[in-house]
Homo-oligomer: A and B are copies of this chain.
Amino acid sequence: MKPLRVGLIGYGFMGRAHSNAFKQVSQFFELKHRPVLKAVCARDAVKAKAFAQNWGYESIETDWRRLVERDDIDLIDIASPNNTHAEIAMAAAKAGKMILCEKPLAMNGPQGEKMVAAIARAGVPNMVWYNYRRIPAVTLAKQLIDEGRLGRIFHYRAKFLQDWTINPELPQGGAGLWRLDIKVAGSGVTGDLLAHCIDTALWLNGSIDTVTAMTETFVKERKHNLTGKVEKVGIDDASAFLARFSNGSLATFESTRYARGHKALYTFEINGEHGSLAWDLHDLHRIQCFEHKDEGRVRGWRNIHVTDSDQPYMKNWWVPGLAIGYEHSFVHQVADFIQGLDSGKPAAPSFKDALQTEYVTDAVLKSARTKRWEKVKKSK
Which residues of A are interface residues toward B (Cβ below 8 A)?
Answer: 13, 16-17, 19-20, 23-24, 26-27, 54-55, 140, 143-144, 150, 154-155, 157, 159, 161-164, 166, 212-214, 216, 218, 238, 240-242, 244, 248, 250, 252, 254, 256, 258-265, 271-276, 281-286, 289-292, 294, 296-305, 307-308, 310-311, 317-328, 371-373
Contacts and interface: CB of A to CB of B under 8 A. Distances in A.
Nearest to A317: B327
Contacts of A242: 212-214, 240-242
B264 A319 contact: yes
B302 A294 contact: yes
- Most chain B C-beta atoms within 10 Å of own C-beta, residue among A13, A155, A328: A155
A3 B293 CA distance: 45
10 contacts: A20-B24, A144-B298, A250-B256, A263-B322, A285-B323, A296-B310, A299-B304, A323-B323, A323-B325, A325-B325
A301 B17 CA distance: 28
Copies per complex of this chain: 4
A284 to B, nearest CB: 6
B281 A214 contact: no
A301 B298 contact: no
Given A213-B242, A300-B302, 11 more contacts: A150-B260, A154-B258, A212-B371, A240-B250, A281-B322, A297-B308, A298-B304, A299-B302, A317-B327, A323-B323, A324-B326
Contacts of A260: 150, 154, 271-276, 290, 292
A216 B250 contact: yes
